[in-house]
C-alpha cells in the first residue's frame, strides 16, 4: 500500500487541534507528513518542524510560495487555521488543483459556501473534504448502522447537544483566540459546535425540507458573542430535530450527546462515554451495547480490544484511515468511501446555521428550509 503525502497549513505548536491531526494521520502508516506551513510566524513554524522531526532547509518564505510548491508534490493539503480564514484558503488551494481537507467550518457564510459549491460543480475533478471525526467513533457508527437498518422503526425525534464550559471559566483559563471573540453572519459558537451536530444528525437521517425556529443568548462570555443557542426543527418528512450548544455551562467539558427516538426504541450516545451505546426498547428497558459486540466490519479497525476506550484522537485516526481510502478511490475513479462526507454536506450546514441565526434575530419561524 502506497503512503500518500500530506502537508498542513496551520496546526503549529500553538494550535489547539494541530497535535491531534498530526498524531491521527500517522496512526495507521497511510500518510507521510511533509514539511508544512504550520504558522505565519517563522519561529513557531520552525519549532513545529523540530517537534515533528521534519526538515526545515529551503523552507518557503511565505504562504504563496508554499502553495506554489505544494502544487507539485503532496497528495493532500490540510487546512487547520482559524475558521475565518478557511474560505480564502480553500479557494486558493482549489485554484492550484490540490486535493484539500479543511477543518470545520468549510465557510462562514452562505455566500462563501455557494461560491465553493459553484467551483466544485464547474470542475468535478476537484477534491474537497471536511473534518468530521466524531462520526467515526465505532459506537456512533454502530448506532448509524442500526438506525439505517430500521431497528428503531420510524424516527420521531433526534436531540443533538454540545454544551461546554469554555466561556464560563475565562477568569481561570484566560481569553480564547481573538477570532473567537466576535460573531459574524453566523455566531462563532455555531461554526465551532453546531457544524459537528448538523453533520452527525444527517448521518442518521437524510436532510428534509421543513421549518425551524431558534434562539440565542449571551450567558457567560465577557465579550459580545453568543455563547448559548438552541434550534428547533420540524422536518416535512416527519422527524423533529432539536439542537443545543453552549460554552456557558459549568459541569461540561465536551457534553456532545446524540439521542434518537423511534417508534420501536431509542438510542443514547455520549462522547464522554464513547464505547457504550444505550438502547431502550418498546418497554423502556435499557440495554448497554459495548464496543466488543458491534458490527464485525467496524471491529476490524480496532487498535486494541474492547474495554480500552476509544479516544478523540483515535476517532480522528479512523477518519484519516477512511479518508485515505476515499482519496484513493477518487483518484482511481472508484466509489466514495461511505464514511466520508462530500463538501456539499458541510456547505448545507452553513446554510442551515445562517438561516437559524436569522430566525433568532427576527424571533420568527423560517419556513421551506433544508433542516
Please write the tens of the pLDDT for every residue from 118-154: 999 999 999 999 999 999 999 999 999 999 999 999 9
In this structure, the strands spanning 276-280 and 31-33 are unpaired
Most confident among 17-31, 63-77, 293-307 (mean pLDDT): 17-31
CB-based contacts of 213, cutoff 8 Å, min separation 6: 231, 232, 359, 364, 365, 366
Position 233 pLDDT exceeds 80: yes
Residue 301 banded pLDDT, cuts 50, 70, 90: confident
**233 beta partners:** 212, 241
pLDDT score for 269: 98
Residue 56 near residue 76 (C-beta atoms within 8 A): no
Handedness of CA 273, 275, 280, 284 (dihedral sign): negative
Tracing cell 458573542 back to the chain, one arrives at 225
Residue 254 near residue 165 (C-beta atoms within 8 A): no
CATH of 4-133+325-344, one of 3.90.1300.10, 3.40.50.150, 3.40.50.720, 3.20.20.140: 3.40.50.720
- Provide DSSP, 179-240: GGSS--SS-HHIIIIIHHHHHHHHHHS---EEEEEEEEE-SS-SSSS--EEEEEEEETTS-E
Residue 45 near residue 99 (C-beta atoms within 8 A): no
Give, for 250, the enclosing helix (H) or strand (E).
none
Residue 363 banded pLDDT, cuts 50, 70, 90: very high
Please write the tens of the pLDDT for every residue from 87-107: 999 999 999 999 999 999 999
**102 beta partners:** 79, 130
Handedness of CA 151, 317, 132, 332 (dihedral sign): negative
pLDDT score for 150: 98
* Same fold? 4-133+325-344, 134-309+349-370: no
Please write the tens of the pLDDT for every residue from 171-225: 999 999 999 999 999 999 999 999 999 999 999 999 999 999 999 999 999 999 9
Percent of the chain with pLDDT over 70: 100
**287 three-class SS:** strand
Please give the distance of CA 96 from its chain centroid, rounded to a whole number: 24
| CATH H superfamily, domain 134-309+349-370 | Dihydrodipicolinate Reductase; domain 2 (3.30.360.10)
Residue extents of the structural domains in the chain: 4-133+325-344, 134-309+349-370
Alpha carbon distance 191, 229 (integer Å): 12
Percent of the chain with pLDDT over 90: 90
Residue 55 banded pLDDT, cuts 50, 70, 90: very high
Alpha carbon distance 81, 296 (integer Å): 37
Residue 183 near residue 226 (C-beta atoms within 8 A): yes
Amino acid at each position: 500500500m502506497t503512503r500518500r503525502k500530506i502537508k498542513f497549513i496551520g496546526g503549529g505548536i500553538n494550535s489547539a487541534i494541530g497535535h491531534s491531526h498530526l498524531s491521527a494521520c500517522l496512526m495507521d502508516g497511510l500518510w507521510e507528513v511533509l514539511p508544512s506551513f504550520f504558522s505565519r510566524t517563522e519561529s513557531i513554524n520552525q519549532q513545529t518542524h523540530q517537534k515533528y522531526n521534519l526538515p526545515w532547509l529551503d523552507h518557503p518564505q511565505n504562504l504563496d510560495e508554499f502553495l506554489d510548491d505544494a502544487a507539485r508534490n503532496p497528495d493532500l493539503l490540510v487546512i487547520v487555521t482559524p475558521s475565518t480564514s478557511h474560505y480564502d484558503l480553500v479557494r486558493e488551494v482549489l485554484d492550484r488543483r490540490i486535493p484539500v481537507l479543511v477543518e470545520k467550518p468549510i465557510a462562514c457564510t452562505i455566500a462563501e459556501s455557494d461560491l465553493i459549491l459553484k467551483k466544485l460543480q464547474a470542475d468535478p475533478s476537484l477534491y474537497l473534504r471536511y473534518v468530521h471525526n466524531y462520526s467515526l467513533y465505532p459506537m456512533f457508527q454502530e448506532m448509524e448502522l442500526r438506525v439505517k437498518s430500521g431497528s428503531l422503526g420510524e424516527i420521531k425525534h433526534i436531540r443533538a447537544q454540545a454544551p461546554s464550559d469554555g466561556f464560563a471559566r475565562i477568569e481561570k483559563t484566560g481569553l480564547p483566540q481573538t477570532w473567537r471573540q466576535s460573531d459574524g453572519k453566523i455566531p462563532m459558537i455555531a461554526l465551532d459546535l453546531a457544524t459537528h451536530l448538523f453533520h452527525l444528525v444527517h448521518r442518521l437521517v437524510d436532510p428534509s425540507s421543513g421549518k425551524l425556529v431558534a434562539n440565542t443568548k449571551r450567558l457567560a462570555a465577557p465579550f459580545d458573542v453568543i455563547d448559548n443557542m438552541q434550534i428547533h426543527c420540524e422536518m416535512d418528512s416527519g422527524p423533529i430535530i432539536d439542537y443545543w450548544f453552549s460554552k456557558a455551562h459549568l459541569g461540561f467539558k465536551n457534553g456532545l450527546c446524540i439521542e434518537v427516538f423511534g417508534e420501536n426504541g431509542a438510542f443514547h450516545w455520549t462522547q464522554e462515554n464513547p464505547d457504550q451505546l444505550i438502547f431502550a426498547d418498546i418497554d423502556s428497558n435499557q440495554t448497554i451495547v459495548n464496543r466488543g459486540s458491534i458490527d464485525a466490519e467496524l471491529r476490524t479497525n480496532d487498535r486494541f480490544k474492547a474495554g480500552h476506550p476509544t479516544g478523540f484522537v483515535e476517532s480522528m485516526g479512523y477518519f484519516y484511515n477512511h479518508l485515505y481510502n476515499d482519496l484513493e478511490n477518487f483518484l482511481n475513479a472508484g466509489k466514495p468511501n461511505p464514511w466520508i462526507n462530500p463538501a456539499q454536506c458541510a456547505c448545507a450546514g452553513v446554510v442551515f446555521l445562517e438561516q437559524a441565526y436569522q430566525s433568532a434575530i427576527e424571533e420568527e419561524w423560517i419556513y421551506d428550509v433544508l433542516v
